[in-house]
Structure 1
Amino acid sequence: MRCSRALLFTALLLCPLFAVPATAQPPAPPPFPAVPNISGSLLPGLQQWIDQVIPPPPVDPPVRPNAPELVESAGGTPGLDALWRATLPSDVGDPIFDAWPVNLEAYAPGEVIEVRDVTATAGVLVLMPFRQALMLKYRTTDAHGRPSFATATLVIPVGVWPGPGDRPVLVNNLPIDALGRDCTPGYSLAHGLASEISVTDYLPPTTQLALLRGYAVLIPDHQGPWMAYAEPYVAGHAILDSIRAVRNRLPAEFGASGFALHGYSGGAIATHGAVKLLAEYAPELDGVVVGAALGGVPADYEILARSMNGNLASAVFMGATFGVARERPEILGRMNNLARWVTTSPVKDLCISVFATAGVLMLPIDVAANFPDPLHSEFAAEVFRVTRMAGRKSAVPLYIYNGEQEFWIPAEGARNLYREQCALGASAVYRSVFGEHVIGAAVGYPESVVWLDERLRGVPALSEC
């Protein structure tokens, strides 16, 4: 299944190169640009050449009842509304993930809309005994302050909590890193074993270790209904509202529980968003969320633009750009026709294990833009500024770790985050660990979960700022 999707992806990247309007003879292509440009853009004029050779894709977006309109910040670009709708993820045939609730604005953030018992199907992922797994669909907020919804799964261990107070909850922010709704942990927990399951759903075994300690585990689908991969505001809101949803739905069992957050890589993006938004968005959770551990931290996309562009990680970087564009459609207005073909194709529903394979082409993001030197533009600088969320103090103690030999997500970003939080007066710890992204995850993980365990047991955090 994954192999066939990879072949489809390769074909979709190539097919637009031969696309012409069905009713016209293809014109002679203009000469390929080959003269260097003093602006610094790779192959200057390439974007214009692509748009002359490749026509825009046909766009016929599906009707999505009750879904919001195009955000105002993206207005003014002709045809952008239809293009944006055509790039959104396809329905998966399950209303709990697909359907926009009627009168969503009438719900308060974190208010539960629907509950489904997924105990029977969640077992193949949890891999150990547990009492119950509940999927919660709840109201949240998108990147622009508008009503949205999200899903999260609460896994409750067997037995009575032996400790003082209510049972603690570990919020496991998995690195979803995907464009399709069936790539989320919630979909797998609700539908059982499928080809879309990622190895990161199992490793590291955060869910299992927490259940062994008697903690409940909350697993948010933090990319929201538009699968806004790498968009920190969407993810932060979804995580905080998932905590509200648990407290609202099961107040007798979790109304006084402490919650701790863990996230690595894409999960760290989500955790980073949550801790920086808590004080403003969910101030009643101050003291309820007792700490957050985040590793392999993509906290600054300007750094990633240098480390991930035009190499084996380029497809992941482009996928993240596309994910952010689903909440910030003005980015779509800066894409050329080749990129528009790709983003409206079945690529929009792929998991990272498939779309990341296009990294072997090592294409720079310039080939997807319609203006020169996009990563060094004022437009990119504004996107970097917004997603960096600079100047926001974490409302909870932080444990930050990163591989010192990281080459795609350099430790520079994690260190800068640590220094920023110390300067703002937050409680923080930083650990430089050996290894790149995978080895660093394994080396840094044990101490991070010990730190979280202490927070959930009520041990005060000691800042190393």
Structure 2
Amino acid sequence: MRKMLVQSFGIATALVAVMAAAPAAHAGAIFPIPDPDGFYYAAGNLDAAQNGDVLNSRLVPIHPFPGATVWQILFRSTNSTGAPIAAVTTLISPGPGPRPLVSYQPFVNSLGLQCAPSHSLFNGGMKEAPAIPLLVARGWAIAVPDHLGPDSAYGAARMGGQITLDGIRAVQRFTPAGLGVGPVGLAGYSGGSMSTGFAAAIAPDYAPELPIVGVAIGGVPVNPGKIAIQAGDTPQPLFGLGFAVAAGMEREYPREMELDSSLTPFGFWMRDRIANSCVEEIIVVGANHSIGEVFIPGRENDPALIRALQENALETVPELIRQPLYQWHGGNDQVPLDLAQYTAGRYCAAGTPVQFDVIPGADHGTAAFPGTVNAVNYLSDRFAGLTPPSNCR
């Protein structure tokens, strides 16, 4: 990833410098290009449905998961304001019958709908996809929700948690799969860990019937707003991801997160430029830029903006993860380790068994794989009913 950033930075910077001089277009939240596939849009039964109800489904006949049957399921969920939405999850199953189910939330970290897991699972865009057959070989069913929602609202982690939980409900209610109700594990890394963590935290109130036996999250940005403030005006290699959180949150909170009054001309350009981008392009466009280049000072003290950010930050929400938790983080991660450790400490103080591993020398990219191997073994032990480990102090 670093090599890609270095190779692309010169071109991207030159282009950005030219575009930054263009007049700013005050347009409000920039929404993604609609998905051309009509499957993603609910019919008139959306309001009458309950959360987790199946609205539509289709079999995926050609896929890269040998020995599995794959469905895509459209279901009813709820957005950040409590309004009904249609969301999609992809179910990859070795067959019918009671079996463990893992809901895996990938690190989409994107603003374009074409980047959603229901697309990237099949077009080579999802880097984690080659590991899924290994999970299916264990006899597990795997649900992969489009957890950023119908507007790809990256950063709206509470909604991502709701979509994740309703996706599990939909999979269990989907009669053709024949899964019924079995033990559930949650897993996710980076941006996917935000939705995963919220799903675990809100489950006792939002979906108390789900038998979630274990949670595995890594590289967790527990408070993106605080991370941005701590970075100050220092150029950051992953700055694009932080800016994409602001743009994605504006889609869900158009009043609270309204950006027009605080964007610089370069900020307007960047918001337009990445409005339909996947994670790799977002990183390249934003590489080594800073807050002062895109934002005019002052809005960071807006109570409405602060409230919206805090409602979607695992560090600050009152809900706590209560299920057995495995959490990992790179020792040299660009996402602050201390914030992740502090938040895990909140769970420990509440009595949650937490196993927190630091991957020595790993940054945000290189920590993903070793932690994922541990996470799979951790969930396997939870499905087996073993006592969860803990290194809480």
TM-score, scaled to structure 2:
0.87
Pairs within 5 Å for 1:41-440: 54-57=23-26, 83-84=28-29, 87-97=30-40, 99-120=41-62, 122-123=63-64, 126=65, 129-157=66-94, 166-189=98-121, 192-193=122-123, 197-202=125-130, 205=131, 207-250=132-175, 253-285=178-210, 288-305=211-228, 306-307=230-231, 310-329=235-254, 330-333=256-259, 334-336=261-263, 338=265, 339-343=267-271, 345=272, 347-360=274-287, 362-370=288-296, 372-375=297-300, 378=303, 381-389=306-314, 390-406=317-333, 408-434=334-360, 435-440=362-367
Per-residue deviation, 1:400: 1.1
Per-residue deviation, 1:463: 4.2
Q: Which has the greater radius of gyration?
A: 1
Judging changes above 3 Å, is the alpha-carbon distance between structure 1 residues 102 and 366 closer, same or farther for their aligned structure 2 residues? Answer: farther
Judging changes above 3 Å, is the alpha-carbon distance between structure 1 residues 297 and 115 closer, same or farther for their aligned structure 2 residues? Answer: same
Judging changes above 3 Å, is the alpha-carbon distance between structure 1 residues 233 and 316 closer, same or farther for their aligned structure 2 residues? Answer: same
Q: Which moved more, 1:7-16 or 1:452-461?
A: 7-16
Give the distance between the partners of 1:321 and 1:201, measured in 2 at CA. Answer: 28
Per-residue deviation, 1:201: 3.7
Judging changes above 3 Å, is the alpha-carbon distance between structure 1 residues 193 and 443 closer, same or farther for their aligned structure 2 residues? Answer: closer
Per-residue deviation, 1:261: 0.9
Per-residue deviation, 1:185: 1.7
Per-residue deviation, 1:9: 7.3
1:322-353 residue CA offsets vs partner (Å, 9 max, x unmatched): 1112111132244436334443x352111011
1:66-105 residue CA offsets vs partner (Å, 9 max, x unmatched): xxxxxxxxxxxxxxxxx33xx11111310123x2532422
* 2:291 counterpart letter in structure 1: I
Give the secondary-structure state (helix, strand or coil) at the position aligned to 2:257.
helix
Per-residue deviation, 1:18: 4.5
Give the secondary-structure state (helix, strand or coil) at the position aligned to 2:186.
strand
Structural RMSD (CA): 2.8
Give the secondary-structure state (helix, strand or coil) at the position aligned to 2:150.
coil
Q: Is the 8 A contact 2:218 2:327 kept in 1?
A: yes
Give the distance between the partners of 1:257 and 1:6, measured in 2 at CA. Answer: 48
Count of aligned residue pairs for this structure pair: 379
1:226-282 residue CA offsets vs partner (Å, 9 max, x unmatched): 101121111100100000001111388322211101111111111111011101111
Give the distance between the partners of 2:212 and 2:199, measured in 1 at CA. Answer: 10
Per-residue deviation, 1:188: 3.2
The answer for unaligned runs of 5 or more in structure 2 is none
* 2:220 counterpart letter in structure 1: V
The answer for unaligned runs of 5 or more in structure 1 is 20-53, 60-82
* 1:94 counterpart letter in structure 2: D
Give the distance between the partners of 1:447 and 1:91, measured in 2 at CA. Answer: 38
Q: Is the 8 A contact 1:12 1:342 kept in 2?
A: no
Give the secondary-structure state (helix, strand or coil) at the position aligned to 1:140.
strand
* 2:253 counterpart letter in structure 1: R
Q: Is the 8 A contact 1:6 1:354 kept in 2?
A: no
More helix by share: 1
Task: Give the % identical residues.
Answer: 26
Give the distance between the partners of 2:83 and 2:238, measured in 1 at CA. Answer: 33
Per-residue deviation, 1:214: 1.1
Give the secondary-structure state (helix, strand or coil) at the position aligned to 1:415.
helix
Q: Which moved more, 1:250-259 or 1:149-158?
A: 250-259
